[in-house]
Structure 1
Amino acid sequence: MTKRTFMTEKGPRSVGPYSTATIYNGFVFVSGMGPIDPNTNKVIASSVEEQARTMFTNVKTVLEELGSSMNDVLKVTLYLKDIQDFALVNQIYKEFFDKDYPARTTLQAGKLPLDFSMEVDVIAAYKEK
């Protein structure tokens, strides 16, 4: 098995020295994604719902760029600056996943990169082409 890294051309660019995703042994590990507009690479300043929608859209974009999808996601780790946003983010989360939801951990994080209000990383099943 060979480890392969991936840099997105359609999603937001990394804000540090790391790849957008790593592919290994039938899995894709997507790096943390925040509410960044992929056109400007700037954090969006809007409602919690719109930030969550942007964040999950970024993950979806990267997975689709790799030939995968949100239906292939096995594990989600969600970091919220304010745990009070949990219910609002859950409503948006349901827009991106079918009823067979992936396993998930949600944490309140003290400080996130670029002062994100939220960030998510995922692990998905991956089939090499």
Structure 2
Amino acid sequence: MKKQLLTRLAPAPAGPYSQGIQFGNTIYTAGQGPIDAETGKVQGDTIEEQTAKTLDNLKYILEQAGATFDDVVKVTVHLSDLGDFQAFNEVYKRYFKEPYPVRTTVGSQLLGIKVEIDAVAILK
């Protein structure tokens, strides 16, 4: 059975999609960016600041299903500038520990943000 995940701690969806969906023991999150849930504005100017806010938003959605970053098995990352990869990676490593989830990182045309991330997690 499909269950919608929704938290006020992460930004409200800007279109016809859910913040996250739980199907059985699998959790899928929508792509999150560095948007402050209260103000609706981009938080942070640097890739490091924006990555931290983006990952915090993902964390809040995962928590709605009782999951943590330890439960994440797949991550997709969109960077507006692939030159930011190393700085992004330094922040990313503070949120995930080994064994790291599999990950795809691509350069994307993002509107007004430097990073967008979505995840798939499996509850134990």
Q: Fold-level match, TM-score > 0.5?
A: yes
TM-score, normalising length: structure 1: 0.90
Match for residue 115 of structure 1?
112
Match for residue 24 of structure 2?
25
Identity, % of aligned pairs?
38
- Aligned residues of 1:10 and 1:65 also touching (Cα < 8 A): no
Letter in structure 1 aligned against 2:116: E
95, 119, 124: which is aligned to 2:121? 124
Quote the Cα distance in structure 2 between the aligned partners of 1:42 and 1:16.
Answer: 16
Quote the Cα distance in structure 2 between the aligned partners of 1:15 and 1:43.
Answer: 14
Quote the Cα distance in structure 2 between the aligned partners of 1:9 and 1:26.
Answer: 22
Cα displacement string for residues 8-38 of structure 1 (whole angstroms, at most 9, x for unaligned residues): 2221111111100111132000000001112
Gaps of 5+ in 2: none
User: Which region of structure 1 is more displaced relative to structure 2, 74-83 or 115-124?
Assistant: 115-124
Q: 1:34-49 counterparts in 2 under 5 A?
A: 34-49=33-48
RMSD of aligned Cα (Å): 1.3
Q: What is the count of residue pairs matched by the alignment?
A: 124
Gaps of 5+ in 1: none
